[in-house]
Amino acid sequence: MVHSGKVLPSKELRLLDVFDIIENKLGFQVKYVAKEHLRTFAKLDRVEGHNDPSDHLIIAQALTEKISVISSDKKFPKYRKMGLELIFNE
């Protein structure tokens, strides 16, 4: 189901099913927080007006793992100068 440009699971879809779809059908990996991610997080330059620690952790994970991030967050492009590989989803 799509609502306001976001994909929402149906009520019948369990959380474990969502992980299965993400990893096995879409080919994405679910990354867990590791010490290396937290080290990058601690050194991450903060962008003015962007104070979301969850976003910062996603960015730190992507930088550490050298993986791309797909996002429509208008503040994410500012992290490209730090090496973030961003696929901007308009």
Residues spanned by the domain of 14: 1-29
Q: Please report the pLDDT score of residue 11 as a whole number.
A: 63
Indicate whether 66 and 78 sit together in one domain: yes
DSSP conformation letters of 4-55:
TTEE---TT--HHHHHHIIIIIS--------HHHHHHHHHPPPPTT---HHH
Statement to judge: residues 58 and 68 lie in one domain: yes
Task: Give pLDDT, residue 23.
Answer: 87
Same domain assignment for residues 38 and 11: no
Q: What is the pLDDT along the chain (90 residues), one digit of tens a residue?
A: 444 556 665 666 777 788 788 888 888 887 789 999 999 999 999 899 999 999 999 999 999 999 999 999 999 999 999 999 999 998
Q: What is the pTM of this model?
A: 0.72
Residue 44's Cβ-count burial label (10 Å; 0-12, 13-18, 19+) is middle
Q: How many domains does the chain have?
A: 2
- CA 56 to the chain's CA centroid: 9
Residues 5 and 35 in one domain: no
50 and 79, same structural domain? Answer: yes
